[in-house]
Chains A and B, each alone.
Chain A
Amino acid sequence: DGGITQSPKYLFRKEGQNVTLSCEQNLNHDAMYWYRQDPGQGLRLIYYSQIVNDFQKGDIAEGYSVSREKKESFPLTVTSAQKNPTAFYLCASSDSTTNEKLFFGSGTQLSVL
């Protein structure tokens, strides 16, 4: 089945620790995105990538980093510089050439210990 796989489903971060959220897609989509959702809030764009080896900052990129070494993978690292990381993180992808819709993974809930 084609889709987007995020892991882990739940993640706990200790103070000062970097953690990496995984996002893999087998939809052959060029564009991939990371969003953050706080309780009762909409989605805010962290980073997005249109093609391999290229990515752009979204509206709340501070304290986060990404890489796009393969078309299928777009991992997000939450660094220790992100002082309030507790949120629901959603990875998404789209085929920007033919199908504009965003497809979402199942999300990762990150909490601080």
Chain B
Amino acid sequence: QKEVEQNSGPLSVPEGAIASLNCTYSDRVSQSFFWYRQYSGKSPELIMSIYSNGDKEDGRFTAQLNKASQYVSLLIRDSQPSDSATYLCAVKHNFNKFYFGSGTKLNVKP
């Protein structure tokens, strides 16, 4: 079983719609969760971090965490073509080890 699992997609949404990206993780003691955006050929950039159960909003982005279900998600409201990228879910384990999912490719169609 992989440490972090994501649906590889591609996920296609029309411009202006809500994109929903999901991630599950295997280590129950994980405390820190991150969403990174990666454009093709570029390095990942941090979108959101979340540490406690519930929702965390930042502009058009909302991260949701449910530790009981070992589930973290990212919602992107009013999706724009510039949001088209691969979104990586990352989980921090003990000893400062970060594990990444394989990423979900998002296509936002104009």
Chain B residues, Cβ within 8 Å of A80: none
Residue from the set B6, B92, B97, B103 with the largest chain A CB neighbour count within 10 Å: B97
Contact across chains for A58 and B43 when beta carbons are under 8 A apart: no
| Inter-chain CB contacts under 8 Å: number | 56
Contact check: which of B43, B49, B95 meets A90 at CB < 8 Å?
B43
Chain B residues, Cβ within 8 Å of A56: 95
Q: Which of chain A's residues 48-107 have a Cβ closer than 8 Å to chain B? A: 48, 50, 56, 58, 88, 90, 92, 94, 96, 100-107
Question: How far does the alpha carbon of A107 sit from the alpha carbon of B103 in the complex, in Å?
Answer: 17
B43 closest partner in A (C-beta): A104
Contact across chains for A102 and B98 when beta carbons are under 8 A apart: yes
Q: Which of chain B's residues 1-51 have a Cβ closer than 8 Å to chain A? A: 4, 6, 8, 32, 34, 41-46, 49
Contact across chains for A50 and B42 when beta carbons are under 8 A apart: no
Chain A residues, Cβ within 8 Å of B98: 33, 45, 92, 94, 102
A40 within 8 A of B: yes
A positions within 8 Å CB-CB of B = 31, 33, 35, 40-45, 48, 50, 56, 58, 88, 90, 92, 94, 96, 100-107, 109
Contact across chains for B95 and A50 when beta carbons are under 8 A apart: yes
B positions within 8 Å CB-CB of A = 4, 6, 8, 32, 34, 41-46, 49, 88, 90, 92, 95-103
Chain B residues, Cβ within 8 Å of A96: 96
Contact across chains for A102 and B46 when beta carbons are under 8 A apart: yes
Distance in Å: Cβ of B87 to nearest Cβ of chain A:
11
Contact check: which of A58, A102, A103, A105 meets B90 at CB < 8 Å?
A102
A99 closest partner in B (C-beta): B49
Contact across chains for A94 and B96 when beta carbons are under 8 A apart: yes
Distance in Å: Cβ of A58 to nearest Cβ of chain B:
7
Contact check: which of B8, B41, B100 meets A43 at CB < 8 Å?
B100
Distance in Å: Cβ of B100 to nearest Cβ of chain A:
4
Chain A residues, Cβ within 8 Å of B103: 41-42
Contact across chains for B96 and A105 when beta carbons are under 8 A apart: no
A56 closest partner in B (C-beta): B95
